[in-house]
Structure 1
Amino acid sequence: MSVSIENLVTSGTFSLDGGTWEVDNNVWIVGNDTECVIIDSPHDADAIINQVRGRTVLGILLTHAHNDHIGAARQVAETVGAPIHLHPEDQVLWEQVYPGTTPDREITDGDEFHIGGVTLRAIHTPGHSPGSTCFHLETENTVFTGDTLFNGGPGATGRSYSDYPTILTSIRERLLTLPPDTIVGTGHGDNTTIAAERETLAKVSQ
């Protein structure tokens, strides 16, 4: 049975460094009729749980730990009975939302998650945050990039725990090496492709 990729958009706020902004976030659900994984859990736990439609959730995979990507994670995890996975370098951001706790499992570069006969591979791409991680679904020619790579270029690096040269290195060395027709499912906004973002990054100075 082939897997499907479902996109749900939830709305809420992003808060960091004393500022708060209204944002729309993409939630990605990869799976088949019986099992799935959830990539990011922002804002609206009920909407995410409804999108699961009773399937077994094998894991909640977080691209990073800014509050607008993890705010519903604990409620979703408790309801569907799934572990939360996060790269440990984002622990400081996780604790801004869930003080004194840790996610259920650590993500390391190269980790593989098997769902419905396909494999998601974790790619550590620091820069937007220290633990930012993308998930490559090679069989479906898709990579989920969180806030590392958008339609139009790199994610923001103007706030705490972000670094512009690091995100450029991550994108160039870890993402732009994927096949050019790879679809990029982002954390906010529209999809793009690796080919389109190669052109964008060619115009960006280090």
Structure 2
Amino acid sequence: MAGARIEHLVTSGTFSLDGGTWDVDNNVWIVGDDTEAIVIDAAHDAEAIARAVGGRTLRAIVCTHAHNDHIDAAPELAARTGAPVLLHPDDLPLWKQTHPDRAPDAELADGQVLTVAGVELTVLHTPGHAPGAVCLSAPALTALFSGDTLFAGGPGATGRSYSHFPTIIESIRDRLLTLPGETVVHTGHGDTTTVAAEAPHLREWIDRGF
């Protein structure tokens, strides 16, 4: 694990679904060392992400889900780097709304382990915000990459197509809040949090229909 680290950049663009479009800032996470890396959510700006990766070998471009703001730069980043784009197959209908002529390169599956720079990242299928939403658990880095499933302060949104509130609550309760409390949650938008900080609010989220 020597040298493995988490890097972060924020890219800006738009999120579009169900006929609406909103300006958004996205977190892009890079996990790796000085020689290789993976990118989690290639959002908006392939050039900026490629610049952050630099001369390292990009092993994979992992999509936590297929809302356009998380995948819009994925094909271009793949073309620049030769890295495969990985997506859970349940999110293919969403993917095709943004990239109808370019499929992902490989599927993500629950329990799959991705390895980069000696660090294992385990894929957790966490539907609710989107059918194929996944999180990546990296215990060696005390880290969880949650996409839009869990934020500082609550679950991801479930008010639009392909989303379901009871399902996201079940995913968070059963797959994420069971992780060690000190686990740092690296989110798709906004600030990081921890499992311990979010766990006490589960009942409150359910009661409020968050």
Name whichever of 62-71 and 196-205 sits farther off.
Answer: 196-205
Q: Which amino acid aligns with 2:53?
A: V
Partner of 1:147: 148
Structure 2 letter corresponding to 1:124: H
- Determine if contact 2:32/2:116 at 8 Å carries over to the other structure: yes
For structure 2, the residue ranges without an aligned partner over 5 or more in a row are none
> Which structure 1 segments of 5+ residues have no match?
none
Where 1:110 maps in the other structure, the secondary structure is coil
2:3–2:34 contact (8 Å) kept in structure 1? no
Check whether the contact 2:17–2:160 (CA below 8 A) recurs between aligned residues.
yes
2:204 & 2:168 partners in 1: Cα distance? 15
- When structure 1 is superposed on structure 2, of 16-25 and 195-204 the one drifting more is 195-204
Q: Structure 1-normalised TM-score?
A: 0.98
Indicate conservation of the 8 Å contact 2:78/2:85, yes or no. Answer: yes
Structure 1 position 174 matched with structure 2 position 175 = yes
Deviation at 1:199, TM superposition (A): 1.6
> Once the two structures are superposed, what CA deviation does each residue of 1:64-113 show, in whole Å capped at 9, x if it has no partner?
00000000000001101100000000000000011143200000001111
User: Any idea what the Cα deviations from partners look like across 1:36-72, whole Å, max 9, x if unmatched?
Assistant: 0000001111100000011000000100000000000
What displacement does 1:200 show?
2.0
**Structure 1 counterpart SS, 2:135:** strand
TM, length-normalised to structure 2: 0.96
Separation of aligned partners in 2, 1:19 and 1:27: 23
Q: Specify the alignment match of 1:204 in structure 2.
A: 205
Aligned residues: 206
Deviation string, structure 1 residues 179-203 (Cα, Å, up to 9, x no partner): 0110000000000000111022231
1:114-173 Cα deviation digits (max 9, x unpaired): 111110110000000000000001101000000000000100000000000000000000
How many Å separate the matches in 2 of 1:128 and 1:90?
11
Deviation of 1:29 after TM superposition, in Å, equals: 0.1
Amino acid corresponding to residue 35 of structure 1 in structure 2: E
Amino acid at match of 1:152: G
Identical positions, percent: 58
| 2:41 matched residue in structure 1 | 40
